[in-house]
């Protein structure tokens, strides 16, 4: 896979307001019906899948639209907000030597500039033919679409795992925002009258705080870590366990007493049973016969609990291309449709 760095700067314009991507950015464009990778934030163009400009924040006038998928369109500067549902997945700082956190920056940075790669929640930064966000999932259900010419056609849901794949690699555009320290002070001085938070840029360069929530198309995703069971839940479990032990002990005692009574009754019946005969020849040295009862009651076996019926066959998961509409566009290499399938860098 090609890493693209040192490209000429393409400033898409300022990003000073929170941008909310439309719902149409959520579907996945799978590379093919049996492929284990696909792209998000795309649309259908004359030449196939390409980055959907509607999934990006507004740009300045005169910016040429992207012609392909995931080649990196540009960056927003000054940029002070990641889009709604996005987090700061990586950062880079330009000084005497540009440093970055696991992210080769695509566009040349100016001295003193900080760049932030904004990705959807749970995505990571990458540079694969340009700035890209990547996520690998092993269990999911995602709405899928494909291109029939310039028309986007719905394919239904893809469920993972399925008979074709046990994991799925998702690629999506990275929204890069750049700023200088002077941009922070300018934002701070002009934000007090509007009630806008003045710590957006500082927060963007730090990992998301525990308990922070992101809103993605109306769905709130919370990153609050689980601290285990509450004290009330633990107390409830303790009371329930004690009651269970007491019930088992009582049942065992009752069962023992019942069996003891049955054994005593059986012994009395045995002595009175007319079917028992004794023939003794006393002092004659003759034979001694004990005729047992003809039969004894056989213990009754407990039947096994009926087993659960086997679950129905798993949903195949992958969408189906009707023969008359099988035009998903050309099969491309990951992450962009003009390239072959590539493996992610470790």
What pLDDT is stored for residue 181 in this prediction? 87
- The model carries a pTM of 0.56
- Give yes or no for residue 228 having a pLDDT over 90: no
pLDDT tens, 32-50?
888 899 999 999 999 899 9
What pLDDT is stored for residue 147 in this prediction? 93
| Across 331-338, average pLDDT | 53
> DSSP labels for 56-98?
S----TTPPPP-SSSS---EEEEE--PPTTEEEEEEEE-SSS-
Please, are residues 69 and 186 in contact by the beta-carbon 8 Å criterion? no
% of the chain with per-residue pLDDT over 70: 53
Torsion of CA 220, 225, 231, 237, to 10 degrees: 80
| Across 194-220, average pLDDT | 35
Mean per-residue pLDDT over the chain, rounded: 70
Torsion of CA 187, 191, 197, 201, to 10 degrees: 0
82-91, 218-227, 334-343: segment of lowest average pLDDT: 218-227
Please, are residues 118 and 82 in contact by the beta-carbon 8 Å criterion? yes
The residue ranking higher by pLDDT, 142 or 197, is 142
Sequence spans of domains, the chain: 11-221
Please, are residues 60 and 12 in contact by the beta-carbon 8 Å criterion? yes
- Give yes or no for residue 227 having a pLDDT over 50: no
**H or E segment and range at residue 51:** strand 48-51
For residue 219, list its beta bridge partners: 216
The residue ranking higher by pLDDT, 92 or 260, is 92
Closest listed residue to residue 94, CA positions, set 86, 84, 103, 85: 103
Provide the 8-state DSSP code for 28: B
Map tokens 């009752």 to a residue.
Answer: 254
Look at phi and psi of residue 266 and say left if phi exceeds 0, alpha if psi is from -120 to 50, else beta.
Answer: alpha
The residue ranking higher by pLDDT, 252 or 325, is 252
Grade residue 265 by pLDDT with cuts at 50, 70 and 90: confident
How many separate helices (H) and strands (E) can be counted in the chain?
3, 19
pLDDT tens, 124-154?
999 999 999 999 999 999 999 999 999 999 9
pLDDT tens, 153-186?
999 999 989 888 899 999 999 999 999 988 876 5
């Amino acid at each position: 896979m090609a890493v693209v760095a040192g490209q000429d700067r393409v400033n898409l314009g300022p990003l000073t307001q929170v941008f909310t991507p439309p719902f149409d950015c959520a579907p996945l464009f799978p590379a093919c019906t049996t492929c284990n990778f696909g792209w998000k934030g795309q649309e259908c163009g004359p030449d196939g899948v390409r980055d959907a400009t509607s999934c990006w924040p507004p740009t300045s006038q005169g910016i040429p639209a992207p012609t392909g998928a995931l080649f990196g369109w540009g960056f927003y500067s000054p940029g002070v907000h990641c889009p709604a549902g996005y987090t700061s997945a990586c950062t880079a700082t330009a000084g005497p030597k540009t440093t970055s956190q696991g992210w080769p920056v695509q566009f040349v940075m100016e001295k003193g500039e900080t760049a932030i790669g904004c990705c959807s929640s749970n995505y990571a930064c990458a540079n694969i033919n340009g700035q890209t966000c990547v996520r690998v999932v092993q269990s999911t259900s995602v709405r899928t679409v494909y291109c029939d010419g310039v028309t986007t056609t719905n394919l239904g849901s893809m469920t993972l795992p399925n008979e074709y794949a046990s994991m799925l690699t998702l690629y999506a555009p990275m929204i890069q925002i750049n700023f200088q320290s002077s941009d922070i002070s300018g934002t701070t001085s002009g934000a007090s009258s509007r009630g806008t938070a003045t710590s957006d840029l500082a927060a963007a360069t730090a990992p998301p705080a525990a308990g922070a929530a992101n809103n993605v198309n109306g769905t709130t995703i919370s990153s609050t870590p689980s601290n285990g069971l509450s004290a009330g839940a633990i107390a409830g479990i303790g009371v329930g366990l004690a009651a269970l032990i007491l019930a088992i002990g009582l049942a065992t005692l009752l069962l023992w007493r019942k069996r003891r009574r049955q054994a005593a009754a059986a012994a009395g019946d045995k002595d009175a049973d007319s079917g028992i005969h004794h023939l003794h020849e006393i002092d004659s040295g003759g034979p001694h016969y004990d005729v047992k009862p003809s039969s004894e009651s056989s213990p009754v076996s407990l039947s096994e609990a009926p087993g659960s019926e086997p679950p129905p066959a798993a949903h195949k998961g992958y969408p189906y291309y009707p023969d008359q509409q099988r035009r998903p566009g050309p099969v491309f290499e990951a992450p962009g449709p003009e390239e072959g399938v590539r493996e992610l860098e470790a």
